[in-house]
């Protein structure tokens, strides 16, 4: 007897579902196998990391430098090595000049801080804070007694220094390698920029060449725009914050200004991280210097102008995303890749959007083509 009941899945769909399930199972099996050989994988990933980190850094810096080289070449300054040399000399002059002038001033501020203000902070934490403690002096005393009893502070301090040293020694060698290899790598990368692109393109199968090449150039454009814009904003905001802090009479304005510039790379959270140290310092050192409220207002105004006027104009529509998407990507990529994930959350999210939009455009174009080819009913 033939059943007339409609099937839940067609044979074609069922076959597809089984195929997907088998693939998922195989992937899980591969993961399971991989977990069994952790040390081998660590060895392999370390080796890959040693190559990827300088290449990746070189690629990102090349995205900043290449438009400058193209600009010089457009103005007739060539051949390539000459424009490259000019850009290299200019970059080196800017970096060394900044260090030469800025380093002694920052060093002076750090020395002053440890000579004059550390004692004030300790005095505040032990005496003034007790009197002004929000929950009352009794709870403050109990908290201090608990910290002293458990020796939590000393244990934390004892582990802090070795951990910091271990962390520094872990990143010192890769950092030295990157710094020493980077200029040479960058030179050849920029010199043969087009040739490298051509070679990479020649590796792609002819059928996918156009898709990959289009996507690649769009991604280059998006990440490049982000890096250049972000660098410009970081430097400008750092300078502006330093001057404004100095004008309102805040001590250690270089350090606080540099913090504002550096943390500006982290969307939303960077502004909060940068505002905390100067506000706390103003709070502790009151009535000397500007009040914490003024420092807070300065930070709010600076970040407000930067986020609402400068960022949209400089970054353009390429990187304009809903704040919720940026926050979610910060949380997601931050948990995946740590600090680097937080820093690059915005360009990664923008790159994903480039992918989605590209395939959407292709789908729309395909559908339009099919509609045009369809015979019109008489």
For other proteins, the binding residue among 313, 324, 372, 376 (CB under 8 A) is 313
Q: Does 244 bind other proteins (CB under 8 A)?
A: yes
For other proteins, the binding residue among 140, 193, 310, 358 (CB under 8 A) is 310
Compare residues 242 and 285 and give the one whose CB is closer to other proteins: 242
CB of 356 to other proteins, least distance (A): 23
For other proteins, the binding residue among 230, 242, 299, 346 (CB under 8 A) is 242
CB of 302 to other proteins, least distance (A): 11
Whole-number Å distance between alpha carbons of 215 and 351: 10
Q: Does 225 bind other proteins (CB under 8 A)?
A: no
Q: Does 240 bind other proteins (CB under 8 A)?
A: yes
Query: Which of the ranges 117-125, 184-192, 242-250, 365-373 carries the binding residues for other proteins, by CB under 8 A?
Result: 242-250
Q: Does 337 bind other proteins (CB under 8 A)?
A: no
CB of 270 to other proteins, least distance (A): 19
Q: Does 304 bind other proteins (CB under 8 A)?
A: no
For other proteins, the binding residue among 18, 95, 105, 139 (CB under 8 A) is 105
SS (H, E, C) the chain: CCCCCCCCCCHHHHHHHHHHHHHHHHHHHHHHHHHHCHHHHHHHHHHHHHHHHHHHHHHHHHHHHHHHHHHHHHCCCCCHHHHHHHHHHHHHHHHHHHHHHHHHHHHHHHHHHHHHHHHHHHHHHHHHHHHHCCCCHHHHHHHHHHHHHHCHHHHHHHHHHHHHHHHHHHHHHHHHHHHHHHHHHHHHHHHCHHHHHHHHHHHCCHHHHHHHHHHHHHHHHHHHHHHHHHHHHHHHHHHHHHHHHHHCCCCCHHHHHHHHHHHCCCCCHHHHHHHHHHHHHHHHHCCCCCCHHHHHHHHHHHHHHHHHHHHHHHHCHHHCCCHHHHHHHHHHHHHHHCHHHHHCHHHHHHHHHHHHHHHHHHHHHHHHHHHHHCCCCC
Query: Which of the ranges 47-55, 209-217, 246-254, 280-288 carries the binding residues for other proteins, by CB under 8 A?
Result: 246-254
Whether the CB-CB separation of 254 and 243 falls below 8 Å is answered with no
Whether a cis peptide bond, with omega within 30° of 0, leads into 96 is no
Q: Which two tokens stand for residue 241?
A: 């914050």
For other proteins, the binding residue among 236, 265, 273, 283 (CB under 8 A) is 236
Query: Which of the ranges 7-15, 35-43, 101-109, 157-165 carries the binding residues for other proteins, by CB under 8 A?
Result: 101-109
CB of 307 to other proteins, least distance (A): 14
Q: Does 243 bind other proteins (CB under 8 A)?
A: yes
Whether the CB-CB separation of 330 and 266 falls below 8 Å is answered with yes
Query: Which of the ranges 185-193, 232-240, 333-341, 343-351 carries the binding residues for other proteins, by CB under 8 A?
Result: 232-240
Compare residues 56 and 312 and give the one whose CB is closer to other proteins: 312
Q: Does 101 bind other proteins (CB under 8 A)?
A: yes
CB of 321 to other proteins, least distance (A): 15
CB of 289 to other proteins, least distance (A): 12
Compare residues 95 and 176 and give the one whose CB is closer to other proteins: 95
CB of 255 to other proteins, least distance (A): 13
Return residues touching other proteins (CB under 8 A). Answer: 101-102, 105, 232, 236, 239-240, 242-244, 246-249, 309-310, 312-314, 316
């Amino acid at each position: 007897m033939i059943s007339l009941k409609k099937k839940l899945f067609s044979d074609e769909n069922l076959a597809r579902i089984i195929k997907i399930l088998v693939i998922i199972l195989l992937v899980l099996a591969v993961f399971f196998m991989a977990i069994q050989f952790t040390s081998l994988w660590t060895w392999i990933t370390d080796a890959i990391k040693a190559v990827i980190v300088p290449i990746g850094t070189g690629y990102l810096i090349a995205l900043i430098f290449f438009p400058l080289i193209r600009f010089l070449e457009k103005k007739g300054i060539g051949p390539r090595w000459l424009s490259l040399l000019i850009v290299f000399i200019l970059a080196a002059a800017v970096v060394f000049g900044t260090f030469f002038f800025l380093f002694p001033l920052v060093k002076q501020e750090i020395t002053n801080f440890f000579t004059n203000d550390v004692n004030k902070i300790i005095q505040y934490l032990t005496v003034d804070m007790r009197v002004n403690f929000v929950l009352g002096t009794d709870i403050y005393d109990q908290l201090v007694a608990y910290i002293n009893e458990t020796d939590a502070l000393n244990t934390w301090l004892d582990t802090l220094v070795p951990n910091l040293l271990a962390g520094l020694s872990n990143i010192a060698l890769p950092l030295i390698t990157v710094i020493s290899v980077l200029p040479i790598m960058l030179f050849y990368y920029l010199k043969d920029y087009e040739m490298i692109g051509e070679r990479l393109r020649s590796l792609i199968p002819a059928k996918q060449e156009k898709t990959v090449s289009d996507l690649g150039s769009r991604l280059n454009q998006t990440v490049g725009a982000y890096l250049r814009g972000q660098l410009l904003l970081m430097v400008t905001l750092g300078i502006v914050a330093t001057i404004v802090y100095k004008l309102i009479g805040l001590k250690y304005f270089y350090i606080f200004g540099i913090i504002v510039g550096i943390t500006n790379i982290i969307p939303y959270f960077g502004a909060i991280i940068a505002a905390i140290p100067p506000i706390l310092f103003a709070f502790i050192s009151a009535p000397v210097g500007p009040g914490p409220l003024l420092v807070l207002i300065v930070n709010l105004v600076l970040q407000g102008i930067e986020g609402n006027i400068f960022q949209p104009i400089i970054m353009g529509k390429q990187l304009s995303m809903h704040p919720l998407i940026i926050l979610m990507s910060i949380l997601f990529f931050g948990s995946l890749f740590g600090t680097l994930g937080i820093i690059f959350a915005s360009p990664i999210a923008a790159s994903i959007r480039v992918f989605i939009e590209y395939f959407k455009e292709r789908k729309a174009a395909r559908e339009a083509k099919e509609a045009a080819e369809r015979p019109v009913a008489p």
